[in-house]
Structure 1
Amino acid sequence: MTEAYPFVMFMALVALFSPLAALSAFMQVVGHFTRGDQRRLAAGLFVNVAIFVLAAVWLGEPLLRLLGVSTAALTVTGGIAILLAGVPMMQGAGEVAPEQAAAVKETEGRESGQGWQSIMFTPVTFPLTIGGTSFGMIVAFSSNAEGVADQIGYTLAGIGYGAVAALTLIAAGHVHRRVSARARMILARIAGILLTAIGVTLLADGGTRLVVATLASLRGA
Structure 2
Amino acid sequence: MEWTLISSFAAALFAIINPFGNLPIFISYTAGESKEVQRWLAVFIALTVLVFLVIFLISGSAILKFFGISLAAFRIAGGILLLLTGINMIRGQHNEQARELAAKAYTNHLQEAELVYRKILIPLGIPLFVGPGSISTVILYANEAKDFSTFSGLIGVIAAISTLVLIVLLIGNLIKRLLGQTGLDIATRIMGLLLTAIGVQFILSGLSDATLNFINPKVL
Q: Tell me if both proteins adopt one fold, taking TM over 0.5 as the criterion.
A: yes
Letter in 1 for 2:54: A
Letter in 1 for 2:24: Q
CA displacement 1:22-52 (0-9 Å, x = unmatched):
3422323433332221111111110011101
The answer to whether the aligner puts 1:138 opposite 2:142 as a matched pair is yes
Can you give the 5+ residue segments of structure 1 that lack an aligned partner in the other structure? 97-103, 105-109
Q: How does 1:18-37 map to 2 (within 5 A)?
A: 18=14, 22-32=18-28, 33=30, 34-37=38-41
1:126 to 131, 149, 170: 131
The DSSP-based 3-state class of the residue aligned with 1:115 is helix
Task: Please report how far the alpha carbon of residue 95 of structure 1 lies from its aligned counterpart in structure 2 after TM superposition.
Answer: 9.9
CA displacement 1:133-157 (0-9 Å, x = unmatched):
443222022xx34xxxx3xx44432
How far apart are the structure 1 equivalents of 2:14 and 2:213?
35
1:78 to 75, 82, 86: 82
Task: Please report how far the alpha carbon of residue 191 of structure 1 lies from its aligned counterpart in structure 2 after TM superposition.
Answer: 2.4
TM-score (norm 2): 0.66
The answer to whether the aligner puts 1:43 opposite 2:39 as a matched pair is no
Kept in 1, the 8 Å contact 2:23–2:172? The answer is yes
1:11 alignment partner in structure 2 = 7
Can you give the 5+ residue segments of structure 2 that lack an aligned partner in the other structure? 31-37, 100-105, 107-111, 215-220
Letter in 2 for 1:43: L
Kept in 2, the 8 Å contact 1:10–1:160? The answer is no
Task: Please report how far the alpha carbon of residue 118 of structure 1 lies from its aligned counterpart in structure 2 after TM superposition.
Answer: 0.9
Kept in 2, the 8 Å contact 1:54–1:155? The answer is no
Task: Please report how far the alpha carbon of residue 175 of structure 1 lies from its aligned counterpart in structure 2 after TM superposition.
Answer: 3.2
TM-score (norm 1): 0.66
How far apart are the structure 2 equivalents of 1:135 and 1:164?
18
Letter in 1 for 2:131: F
1:59 alignment partner in structure 2 = 62
How far apart are the structure 2 equivalents of 1:53 and 1:95?
26
The answer to whether the aligner puts 1:172 opposite 2:174 as a matched pair is no
| CA distance 1:137–1:94, change in 2 (3 Å) | closer
Identical amino acids, percent of aligned pairs: 7
| CA distance 1:75–1:206, change in 2 (3 Å) | same
| CA distance 1:180–1:133, change in 2 (3 Å) | closer
Compute the RMSD of aligned alpha carbons. 3.7
| CA distance 1:202–1:127, change in 2 (3 Å) | farther
How far apart are the structure 2 equivalents of 1:186 and 1:18?
20
Task: Please report how far the alpha carbon of residue 15 of structure 1 lies from its aligned counterpart in structure 2 after TM superposition.
Answer: 3.0
1:198 to 189, 194, 201: 194
1:101 alignment partner in structure 2 = none
